A = this chain, B = another copy of it.
Amino acid sequence: MINMQNSLRTFGRRTLSQSRLLSKVKLTADKYQISRGDYATISETDRTELLSMVNGKGLEGIENLDGYNTDWMNTVRGQSSLVLRPQTTEQMSKILKYCNENKIAVNPQGGNTGLVGGSNPVFDEVIISTSLMNQVEDVDPVSGILVAQAGCVLDDLNQKLSDYKLMMPLDLGAKGSCQLGGNLSTNAGGLRLLRYGSLRGTVLGVEAVLADGTIIDALQTLRKDNTGYDLKQLFLGSEGTLGIITKASILCAPLPNSVNVAYVSLETFDHVREVFKAARSQLGEILSAFEFVDEDCLDTLKDNLSLEPPVDKTPFTVVIETHGSNRDHDQEKLELFLEYLMENEMIVNGTVAEDSKKVGDIWQLRERMAEALQHDGYVYKYDVSIPLKHFYDLVEDMRERLGDKALRCVGYGHVGDSNLHLNVTTSEYSEEVNNLIEPFIYEWVASKRGSISAEHGIGFKKTNYLHFSKSNEAIDQMKLLKNLFDPNNILNPYKVLPQ
């Protein structure tokens, strides 16, 4: 089993000492200067009614809800005074029916590990947490299909699946806290999309509750099912604005018999590209991840987490992982591949890990990047898709643009998916720095026909930039769909669609 080092972050599960700090986070409403929608303010009657629907499983009082109102990066803060924690689909249905009839806005929340402010309220939306919907309903060992409630934590699912020699087809840094429903509603990508494909293909069925409380049972557990429109796709990636996912069935991947990780250091990004091309050809079907970090990332890991790279650092580092069924074959492929890279002077140095401890140590250098950056103070996070030929140019252009106004400007991410994470840090939030980055970065990405959000979604923070990646006609259709599914606009308002 790929028992990777689980990072120490526990997003959304803050300790008391942390939550005391949170109230310093600026209110989203003030920071972004937007107006509250025309929603009802919940009355005492509403509060009593709603809490009774979840058998009292709720939390009250804005002063107690910092961990729900604020994102883990301390960049947005809402003002909700009520969290509801339903345990069943029927409870979810009752809540939404009531809120829809009374025009009460709601904010669906999973593990609250999102990076674009999509999982926190903006004003006083009622938070509906899926945390108590955490039951695994079925694992079929022959087909490899899992059926589970939306609140299951990704890592917990992997634990359960390992008994069946299976694993989830997605993996991401936040796995210790993020929930299945959140993964699906943000169409999470992560580290191994390259190998196991996107959720659009691996999610076989979804149960979701619409704004008016209607339960849509599209919880098929079949690999092939062409019976009419594929409604579940509407709930994947729509970030809780068209319905709330309550259950899902997902095609899991077999747990590999053999896992190998190579860490290689390179001089230029051209070499990174060449090594990627060679990996696809020579490692072929066993290649499961191809990730990179730049030199500034290694410095951040050292400065902020005292993590040292296993070999001398160079401008670029690549982590290559293989998953396979035959250990001897996999090792032979990897050895031949690394020899080829050395002979052709594509890499400077490297090391290979086969045992799970060493595999975990190497993965830390990639997986704990988000955590490491957070120690600088404020992080401006961007997650873009750019064709590989322009991929790293953005980091260099941004670094030049920001000069000494930023503490750091680093690039890392999923080379195999053309997905760059560009991160800028300052000791505290600076509007000047923010304005230097945006909309410059979106214009830059759009000019290369990239995506302004590869995997993080639009959430709250990127709604005004949606048009850089979507045509006007497409945005019009999105608005029509939103109006069809949620005519009162109660589901996760201020998110995804431009105001």
Is A417 part of the binding interface, using a Cβ–Cβ cutoff of 8 Å? yes
Is A453 part of the binding interface, using a Cβ–Cβ cutoff of 8 Å? yes
What distance in Å separates the Cβ of A2 from its nearest Cβ neighbour in chain B?
15
Complex contact A223–B417 (CB within 8 A): yes
Assembly CA distance A102 to B280 (angstroms): 52
A236 with B230, Cβ < 8 A, contacts A143-B387, A217-B471, A325-B285 known: yes
A451 with B229, Cβ < 8 A, contacts A197-B201, A329-B329, A418-B143 known: no
Collect the chain B residues with CB atoms within 8 Å of residue A233's CB.
200, 230, 233-234
Is A110 part of the binding interface, using a Cβ–Cβ cutoff of 8 Å? no
Is A189 part of the binding interface, using a Cβ–Cβ cutoff of 8 Å? yes
Question: Looking at the complex, which of A149-157, A373-381, A474-482 is the stretch in contact with chain B?
Answer: A474-482
Residue of A226, A286, A329 most packed against chain B (CB within 10 A): A226
Is A411 part of the binding interface, using a Cβ–Cβ cutoff of 8 Å? no
- Beta-carbon contacts of A320-339 to B below 8 Å, as 1s and 0s? 00011110010011000000
Q: Which residue of chain B lies nearest to A326 when distances are taken between CB atoms in the complex?
A: B333
Q: Which residue of chain B lies nearest to A236 when distances are taken between CB atoms in the complex?
A: B230
Q: Which of A439-479 contact B (CB under 8 A)?
A: 449-458, 462, 466, 469-471, 473-475, 477-478
A324 with B284, Cβ < 8 A, contacts A237-B229, A484-B484 known: yes
Contact of A193 among B224, B282, B385 (CB under 8 A): B224
Assembly CA distance A216 to B324 (angstroms): 40
Is A231 part of the binding interface, using a Cβ–Cβ cutoff of 8 Å? yes
Contact of A201 among B202, B237, B283 (CB under 8 A): B202
Is A225 part of the binding interface, using a Cβ–Cβ cutoff of 8 Å? yes
Q: Which of A414-453 contact B (CB under 8 A)?
A: 414, 417-419, 449-453
Number of chain A residues whose Cβ lies closer than 8 Å to a Cβ of chain B: 87
How many copies of this protein are present in the complex? 2
What distance in Å separates the Cβ of A485 from its nearest Cβ neighbour in chain B?
8
Complex contact A284–B202 (CB within 8 A): no
Complex contact A229–B234 (CB within 8 A): yes
Assembly CA distance A414 to B414 (angstroms): 33
Assembly CA distance A81 to B299 (angstroms): 71
- Beta-carbon contacts of A189-201 to B below 8 Å, as 1s and 0s? 1000110011011
Contact of A228 among B221, B223, B470 (CB under 8 A): B470
Collect the chain B residues with CB atoms within 8 Å of residue A333's CB.
325-326, 329
What distance in Å separates the Cβ of A175 from its nearest Cβ neighbour in chain B?
18
Collect the chain B residues with CB atoms within 8 Å of residue A387's CB.
143
A226 with B186, Cβ < 8 A, contacts A197-B197, A285-B285, A329-B329 known: yes
Give 14 A-B pairs besides A227-B452, A231-B477, A480-B484 with Cβ atoms closer than 8 angstroms: A142-B273, A142-B389, A143-B388, A186-B226, A222-B385, A224-B418, A229-B478, A229-B481, A230-B237, A233-B234, A254-B284, A284-B326, A285-B285, A484-B484
A-B CB proximity, top 9 nearest: A201-B201, A284-B325, A233-B233, A224-B454, A225-B451, A227-B469, A222-B385, A329-B329, A285-B285
